[in-house]
């Protein structure tokens, strides 16, 4: 399998990922967690799990997601708080029809909200 490496600041090391990893969602998409009551806007995507081992091991084994799938960085919101979340693709579903996300960091990363999607600020893209 053709693989590539990228440095993950969260993991503190190089991560190997297949070149053909397919993300179901894109930066600026609004998503909801399948099992927990929060939603958010995607601001970064890892092609495979790229966080720390401690973070991964803290998830109960019976619900721990597979590493070989995209993981998404979200500006997340629940009824109680705004925060940053790191979620596997299998645990996300589209939530674009429920309107914009109310997170205080959105203006720093995104410009417009149009038709269920945020557009990233110029200069923030790779």
111: left (phi over 0), alpha (psi -120 to 50) or beta: alpha
In tens, the pLDDT along 95-108 reads 999 999 999 999 99
In tens, the pLDDT along 24-60 reads 999 999 999 999 999 999 999 999 899 999 999 999 9
Q: What are phi and psi of 54, to 5 degrees?
A: -60, -40
Q: Is 1's pLDDT higher than 60?
A: no
Cα 49–chain centre separation = 11
Q: Is 20's pLDDT higher than 90?
A: no
Domains along the sequence of the chain with CATH: 3-120 (2.30.30.390)
Q: From residue 30, how far is each of 13, 52, 83, 103 by CA, in Å? A: 29, 25, 15, 12
Burial class (CB in 10 A: 0-12, 13-18, 19+), 11: middle
Average pLDDT over residues 55-69: 92
């Amino acid at each position: 399998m053709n693989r590539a490496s990228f440095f993950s600041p969260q993991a503190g090391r190089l991560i190997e990922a297949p070149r053909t990893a397919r993300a179901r969602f894109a930066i600026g998409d609004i998503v909801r967690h399948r099992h927990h009551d929060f939603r958010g806007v995607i601001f970064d995507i890892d092609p495979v799990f790229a966080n720390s081992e401690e973070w991964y091991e803290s998830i109960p084994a019976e619900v721990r997601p597979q590493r070989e799938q995209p993981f998404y960085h979200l500006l997340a919101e629940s009824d109680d708080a705004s925060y940053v979340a790191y979620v596997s693709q299998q645990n996300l579903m589209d939530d674009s029809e429920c309107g914009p996300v109310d997170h205080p960091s959105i203006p720093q990363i995104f410009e417009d909200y149009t038709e269920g999607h945020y557009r990233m600020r110029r200069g923030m893209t790779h």
